[in-house]
Amino acid sequence: MVMIIRYESNSTYRKANWVACDKANNRSRERTITLSLILPWLHWSTEQVNFYHHSTVSKLKLTYIPIPSDALDMRRLLTVNYYTLGIILNLDCRYSDSVLSEFSRQQLPYNQSYHWLLVTKLDTPPITTLHDLPLTIDTEMSVAVKSGLDYILYDVYNPSYRHGGILNVTYMGKWNQYSGLDIKLTQYKYQRRANLEGLCINVSLVLLHEPTPDFTTYMTNPINRHLDTMHRYNYALIRNLQDYYNFTIHLKLTDSWGYLINGSYNGMVGDLIAGIADIGGSPIMFKNERLKVSEFTVQTYMAKGCFIFRHPKKRTVHNGFLKPFKKEVWYFTIIMAVLSWILLWLTARVEIHFRDHPPLNTLYSHTGSETALITLAAACQQDNLGLSDGPQLYSGRLVFLSLFLWTLLLYQYYSASIVGSLLAEPPRYIKTLQDLLDSDMPVGLEDIAYTRNHFATTTDPIALELYRRKVAPGKGRKYAAYFNVTDGLRRVQKGNFAYHTDVDSAYKFITARDQLNIDEFTEDEICDLVEITLFPAPHLGTVTSKHSPFKKMVTYGLRQIIEHGIGERIKHVWRYRQPLCPASYKLKPVQIPVGEFIPALFLLLFGAIGAATVFFIEYFVKQGIPCSWIIGQFMRKSQ
């Protein structure tokens, strides 16, 4: 009869002289150790009695189950709520094969959750027995072979029994009662097992466009890299992973990442669930429902989708000539001008009163109008309109000087503000998704799976209202506002249109001429571009099938590739850089649009019409023509 002894302890068993216990003690002196001991128990020996005594003193929980037995439920025996479980099996027991076969038959995995120690007195490891076990690259199995007073230890694994891998038995070290444990394999597990010897691993890859001219050229040469950018980038990482571990890729193409439809997944995730694929070749978005059916390894990609549009050059002030001053300043300026006019008029009248000679110029003959013109000329920084003489009294000269100094400072502030406002970049008032929704700018979307999925699952009221009002079929739209990249960016280039797309596709068309009849964006058009995100940039990672033995292997390999800078280099090969507005753009001469000059033209036109009207009135008055006759002639012609 063979007994399975399974015990859990909060303290390490230090006094046992068995190889299993010594190995466990060397691995951890402080942490709790959980072991399942599967040993021949044909009769009670002194050693076995001592073990039972120490177990009782240490308050260990022991369970005895005879083998063979119908109660040999390996799942119940070897499932605990710890991360790992140590298993020691004496291969010299005649029932050891049944233990291994039951472990395999009940589909318990040979992974890192179970640390196996197989003990035998044979001269060499039992290759025949080990060869038929469904081992993987994740297996933690050691074989201890008795050699005199020593136990020779071997590390045993198979890259993948299911994929036809070759059993690998590597010298690990030795143990004896006096010198203890001597381990030679000190490298990390996936570093020393890096050679899979050409093992064929199934990879599922998403492609949304037809690979041209052929698949190999399409996936390895950065031609039209705006197509399937993330998939070709991630495939390049998988190719580097292939070189790192020396395996062969068996590729399966699909056109979807994998979404839950009618209770089952399609696309790449569906291939992983069905066992058709071991690794996902395309990066996939982190979602709670996908965590239940796949294993995420390393984040390898960040997909950035956003609305791109040329910001309208709209100024918030309709009359730029009134912009420099607030209403209060304009009111104060008018009051000061009227006050200066009154003071000039008073000083001129006082001077006329005290002079005993006739008026020398119009300042004294037409005092009211002349002082008004002087005030207006000072405000506009003009000369004295032909005035032959200024005020003679010191009071008048002080008023005259103060008026011109005040208007000089006023004009400096006014002109500087006008010039600065015309040269400054127009304010950009569309900065958020809410601003885009409130504007009258139409929008369009590229038909991308994750964009449709966002609108189908989001609870953001702004995004939902944007879709309902500007995208979904409705008033003025027979179909949803989905456009391909060519049409969408052509509309963006014309202006007054916002297009949501993946930036890798957009940057390609913005920065280079191509065969699709989209001219390269000019410098002015690039500097007008604004980006608004519809949703945060999704983090995408590489996945494996659920409980895959390759998960840790892929994680370690991709982490090595990315941290050594290879991932960044591949990114520069496959991803377009954002076109930037050059710093010299602000130094270019700015052309003032006619709309900014229209108020000045209207003022000039109004002055010309007013001057012509006054001229004709003065002419008719000088000629002695009655105004009633002029009005009568005008009325008859109008009838």
The type of residue at 132 is D
What average pLDDT does the chain have? 81
Give whole-number Cα distances, 582 to 70, 305, 479, 526, 588, in Å: 79, 23, 39, 9, 11
Q: For residue 365, is pLDDT > 60?
A: no
| Ranges 22-31, 38-47, 67-76: which has the least confidence | 22-31
What tokens does 481 get?
A: 């506002």
- For residue 161, the model assigns a pLDDT of 94
Average pLDDT estimate for 407-433: 79
509: left (phi over 0), alpha (psi -120 to 50) or beta: alpha
What tokens does 621 get?
A: 């008055």
What counts of helices (H) and strands (E) characterise the chain?
Answer: 24, 21
- In this predicted model, what pLDDT tens digit does every residue of 203-253 receive, in sequence order? 999 998 899 899 999 999 988 888 899 999 999 999 999 999 999 999 999
313: left (phi over 0), alpha (psi -120 to 50) or beta: beta
What tokens does 550 get?
A: 């390759």
CATH number at residue 173: 3.40.50
Q: How many CB atoms lie within 10 A of CB 241?
A: 22
Tell me, yes or no, whether 70 lies in a domain. Answer: yes
Q: For residue 41, is pLDDT > 90?
A: no
Single residue among 370, 405, 423 that ends a domain in this structure: 423
- In this predicted model, what pLDDT tens digit does every residue of 438-462 receive, in sequence order? 998 999 999 887 788 888 888 899 9
Which residues, 6 or more positions from 494, have their beta carbon under 8 angstroms from its beta carbon? none
Angstrom distance (rounded) from CA 135 to CA 130? 8
- For residue 28, the model assigns a pLDDT of 38
Average pLDDT estimate for 298-313: 89
- For residue 135, the model assigns a pLDDT of 96
Report phi then psi at 217, rounded to 5.
-65, -40
CB under 8 A, 24+ apart: contacts of 570-574: 570/233, 570/236, 570/237, 570/240, 571/233, 573/222, 573/225, 573/236, 574/222, 574/225, 574/229, 574/232, 574/233, 574/236
- For residue 479, the model assigns a pLDDT of 85
Which residues, 6 or more positions from 200, have their beta carbon under 8 angstroms from its beta carbon? 163, 164, 247, 248, 249, 250
Assign 419 to helix, strand or coil.
Answer: helix
Assign 130 to helix, strand or coil.
Answer: helix
- For residue 516, the model assigns a pLDDT of 47
Which residues, 6 or more positions from 522, have their beta carbon under 8 angstroms from its beta carbon? none
Tell me, yes or no, whether 162 lies in a domain. Answer: yes
E strand intervals along 137-273:
140-147, 150-157, 168-176, 180-183, 199-206, 247-254, 260-261, 264-265
- For residue 366, the model assigns a pLDDT of 64
- For residue 639, the model assigns a pLDDT of 58
Angstrom distance (rounded) from CA 570 to CA 558? 13
Domain count, the chain: 3
How do 279-280 and 284-285 pair as beta strands?
A: unpaired
Choose the most confident range, by mean pLDDT, from 3-12, 306-315, 509-518: 306-315
Angstrom distance (rounded) from CA 132 to CA 134? 6
Using 50, 70 and 90 to split pLDDT, how confident is the model at 285? confident
Using 50, 70 and 90 to split pLDDT, how confident is the model at 622? confident
The type of residue at 615 is F
Angstrom distance (rounded) from CA 61 to CA 59? 7
Burial of 418 (0-12, 13-18, 19+ CB in 10 A): middle
The type of residue at 343 is L
Spatial contact of 344 and 403, defined as CB atoms under 8 Å apart: yes
- In this predicted model, what pLDDT tens digit does every residue of 119-155 receive, in sequence order? 999 889 999 999 999 999 999 999 999 998 899 999 9
Tell me, yes or no, whether 462 lies in a domain. Answer: no
Using 50, 70 and 90 to split pLDDT, how confident is the model at 81? low
Spatial contact of 20 and 119, defined as CB atoms under 8 Å apart: yes
Give whole-number Cα distances, 423 to 207, 420, 586, in Å: 48, 5, 9
Q: How many CB atoms lie within 10 A of CB 639?
A: 4
Tell me, yes or no, whether 147 lies in a domain. Answer: yes
Average pLDDT estimate for 427-432: 86
Which residues, 6 or more positions from 336, have their beta carbon under 8 angstroms from its beta carbon? 406
Q: How many residues does the structure list for the chain?
A: 639
- For residue 163, the model assigns a pLDDT of 93
CA angle 496, 500, 506 (to 5 degrees): 90
Q: What is the dihedral of CA 332, 337, 340, 346, to 10 degrees?
A: -120
What tokens does 182 get?
A: 């001597």
Pinpoint the alpha helices (H) of 523-593. 523-527, 551-563, 566-574
89: enclosing H helix or E strand: strand 85-90
Angstrom distance (rounded) from CA 275 to CA 160? 14
Using 50, 70 and 90 to split pLDDT, how confident is the model at 318? low
**Helix orientation angle between 503-511 and 485-494, rounded to the nearest 10 degrees:** 60
Q: What is the dihedral of CA 106, 111, 115, 116, to 10 degrees?
A: 60
610 lies in which domain range?
604-638
Spatial contact of 287 and 259, defined as CB atoms under 8 Å apart: no
Instruction: Please tell me the pTM assigned to this model.
Output: 0.70
Tell me, yes or no, whether 473 lies in a domain. Answer: no
| Ranges 8-12, 156-160, 283-287, 533-537: which has the least confidence | 8-12
Tell me, yes or no, whether 381 lies in a domain. Answer: yes
Spatial contact of 167 and 158, defined as CB atoms under 8 Å apart: yes
Single residue among 360, 394, 423 that ends a domain in this structure: 423
How do 284-285 and 539-545 pair as beta strands?
A: antiparallel
The residue whose two tokens read 């292997």 is 553
| Ranges 175-179, 209-213, 515-519: which has the least confidence | 515-519
Q: How many CB atoms lie within 10 A of CB 271?
A: 22
Single residue among 423, 451, 467 that ends a domain in this structure: 423
Using 50, 70 and 90 to split pLDDT, how confident is the model at 553? very high
- For residue 22, the model assigns a pLDDT of 36
Give whole-number Cα distances, 486 to 140, 218, 445, 470, 634, in Å: 54, 20, 12, 20, 63
Q: What percent of the chain has pLDDT over 90?
A: 34
- In this predicted model, what pLDDT tens digit does every residue of 568-613 receive, in sequence order? 999 999 988 888 888 777 777 666 667 667 777 888 888 899 888 8
What tokens does 293 get?
A: 């059916």
342: enclosing H helix or E strand: helix 327-354
Tell me, yes or no, whether 38 lies in a domain. Answer: yes
The β-bridge partners of 305 are: 502
Tell me, yes or no, whether 566 lies in a domain. Answer: no
Q: Which comes out higher in pLDDT, residue 557 or 28?
A: 557
Spatial contact of 485 and 208, defined as CB atoms under 8 Å apart: no
Q: For residue 309, is pLDDT > 90?
A: yes
Angstrom distance (rounded) from CA 235 to CA 567? 11
- For residue 359, the model assigns a pLDDT of 57
517: left (phi over 0), alpha (psi -120 to 50) or beta: left
| Ranges 244-258, 500-514, 623-637: which has the least confidence | 623-637
